[in-house]
Amino acid sequence: MKRLIAFGVTFLLLALVGAPPAPGQPRGKNVEKLMRAKLKHSQVLLEGISIGDFKKISASAEELLQLTKTEEWLMHKTPKYQMHSNEFQRAAETLIRKAKEKNIDGTTLAFFDMTMSCVRCHQHVREIRDAKWPNAPSEALRFVSTDFKLDSRSP
């Protein structure tokens, strides 16, 4: 179990390393707020899983699920983006269910699924940006750092 949690922490860190701020990029206030809330609730979620606090787990998973219903959530309209978004929602729903059942292994696995969807969706967003602005300076348009060593598909 401890190993599972350690993996969870690693995955979350990967997701976060995968999404550092993109300086100079114009972004709406609401999008900014959404991204901050996403980060905050996933950190609380990890805290809940680490200490076995099921109330914390379901409350933060519920918050994350609600975020997916905001207008800002579907920033891109590609089928892949939608697919990652669906995976994220399914993982949040599973988290809530498993937390109700007080199933720590189940919540941890659902947390992995959710974190994978963070990473995959961010990868897809990078692809979209590369396709839109192939010759643009990388720092300005890529919110995922190029020294993301554990991901061999990163440019």
Note whether 114 binds ligand HEC by CB under 6 A.
Answer: yes
Region at 103 (left for phi over 0; alpha for psi -120 to 50; beta for the rest) = beta
Could you tell me the smallest distance in angstroms from the CB atom of residue 13 to ligand HEC? 10
Output the six-digit token pair for 77: 């309209």
Q: Residue 103 or residue 145: which is nearer to ligand HEC going by CB?
A: 145
User: Is 142 among the residues that bind ligand HEC (CB under 6 A)?
Assistant: no
Residue 19 binds ligand HEC, judged by CB under 6 A: yes
Phi, psi torsion values for 91, nearest 5 degrees:
-65, -40
Binding ligand HEC by CB under 6 A: which of 48, 49, 117, 142? 117
Judged by CB under 6 A, which stretch of 3-11, 13-21, 97-105, 146-154 contacts ligand HEC?
A: 13-21
Q: Are 78 and 108 in contact (CB under 8 A)?
A: no
Residue whose entry in the numeric block shows the structure tokens 């579907």: 74
Site membership for ligand HEC, residue 89 (CB under 6 A): no
Kind plus residue range of the DSSP H or E element containing 100: helix 79-100
- Displacement of CA 46 from its chain's centroid (Å): 12
Phi-psi region of 102 (alpha: psi -120 to 50; beta: other; left: phi over 0): left
Contact status: 96 vs ligand HEC (CB under 6 A): no
Which residues here bind ligand HEC, judged by CB under 6 A?
A: 15, 19, 21-22, 25, 27, 31, 35, 38-39, 42, 75, 81, 84-85, 88, 114, 117-118, 121-122, 125, 143
